[in-house]
Amino acid sequence: MVADHQGRERQGGISRFVADMLERDAVKLPRRQFLHLAAGAAALTAVSRIASAQAYPTRPVRIIVGFAAGGGYDIIARLIGQWLSERLGQPFVIENRPGAATNIATQVVVNAAPDGYTLLLIGPTNTINTTFYRNLHFDFIRKVNASSPGVGSISHLALELFKMMAGVKLAHVPFGGNGPALTALFGGQVEVSVASLPSSIESIRTGKLHGLAVTTAMRAEALPDVPAVGEFVSGYEVSAWYGMGTPTGTPPEVIDKINKEINAGLADTKLKARIADFGGTPFALSPAQFGKFIAEETEKWRKVIRAANIKPV
């Protein structure tokens, strides 16, 4: 979380909790139409139907983002899109499709031709929602008010995990995105906020907000003086992550090519520096490795959602 500059630590350090790269909303993957994930996303099974994969791309590629412009997802999508455009010689165009808990954006990609020309920027909320959209109940607990971008968001789940592990009571106050959640913090409506680092880092650097802690396992290089939650709540760790998805049936050659190029971007000095400016740390995975990672994240958040008894609003 972050607190405003005048914010005080309360309840023996309860409010010493600040977000790293957390983001709004949730993507629910339809049961019968699974996405293949590439370049930080995993290709599970794919049917090769295109012999011209080596020529890919021969026309513009769309990257669908299920959030409004200006958030962490949008920022990362534009950085990666620019890199791919430069590397592959075709525009990678960002399309923001916010709404319906990002199901609109997801459905666009699920229904698109499986040819590598429609991609979906994905994050931890994809794994959250596999459990989130089931018959669960939501329980508000009143104490220190902590804002988040919305019920079921990675920020919200990070808050619930902290409450579980630290044994404290915090009242969750959901808003419609990082911007409104931080506005509530600036306006004194809440004491702390779990916010994405891309959306809050400049305010922290300039002193408008006080960074209490990052949720990653280690301190963020961009904010070396801000402790990690794990330094006072042993074992706590939450990281937002971003990957790229394609429709089921996309040729493995295309998936591998996208994976290779994005991973090359993550190794590029300039792009790494840009990502670091927003508090991010690149990690390059193969499609199979990322599939395993997604499975682990799904199970982690399933436990939190059920323990916190959360349901969609």
Judge whether 256 lies within some domain.
yes
CB 196 within 8 A of CB 22: yes
- Overall domain count for the chain: 1
CATH number at residue 24: 3.40.190.150
Residues 121-156: tens digit of each pLDDT:
887 766 665 566 553 222 323 378 899 999 999 899
Flag whether 266 is in a domain: yes
The number of angstroms, rounded, from the C-alpha of 175 to the middle of its chain's C-alpha atoms is 16
* Whole-number pLDDT of residue 227: 92
Instruction: Identify the pLDDT of residue 52.
Output: 53
Taking alpha carbons only, the member of 90, 81, 23, 14 closest to residue 59 is: 90
Q: Tens of pLDDT along 25-80?
A: 333 333 333 333 333 332 222 233 334 567 889 999 999 988 888 888 889 999 99
Is residue 202 a part of any domain in this protein? yes
Answer yes or no: are the C-beta atoms of 87 and 265 closer than 8 Å: yes
On whether the CB atoms of residues 157 and 305 are closer than 8 A, the answer is: yes
The answer to whether position 45 is within a domain reads: no
Residue 126 covered by a domain: yes
Evaluate whether residue 310 is within a structural domain.
Answer: no
Which tens digit of pLDDT belongs to each residue from 212-248?
Answer: 999 988 888 888 999 999 998 888 988 888 888 888 8
Range of the domain at 166: 1-40+56-300
Residue 273 lies in a domain: yes
* Element holding 243 (H helix, E strand): strand 243-246
